[in-house]
Amino acid sequence: MAGVAEYIKESYIELTEKVTWPTWRELQSSAVLVLVAAIIIAMLIFGMDQIIGYLLNQFYTSLT
């Protein structure tokens, strides 16, 4: 049990004294960048899905 307590104590010290946390401004910039990237990737996937759906629809209607 002493090992667990020591681990928690060392983890707390590392998080409070050794970790360099981003500033609020850096955090906001990173969040906006991730949001923009996620939207762009979602739009690309949506576009590919629409194109493939259209092509498959054309292919299946040409068979009948």
pLDDT tens-digit series, residues 7-53: 999 999 999 999 999 999 999 999 999 999 999 999 999 999 999 99
Contact call for residues 30 and 22 (beta carbons, < 8 A)? yes
Measured CA to CA, the distance from residue 17 to residue 61 in angstroms comes to: 66
Can you give the pLDDT at residue 12? 92
| Alpha carbon of residue 63 to chain centroid | 41
> 2: pLDDT confidence band, cut at 50, 70 and 90?
confident
* Rounded Cα distance, 40 and 6, in Å: 45
Angle, vertex CA 20, rays to CA 17 and CA 26, nearest 5: 145
Query: In one letter, which amino acid is 31?
Result: A
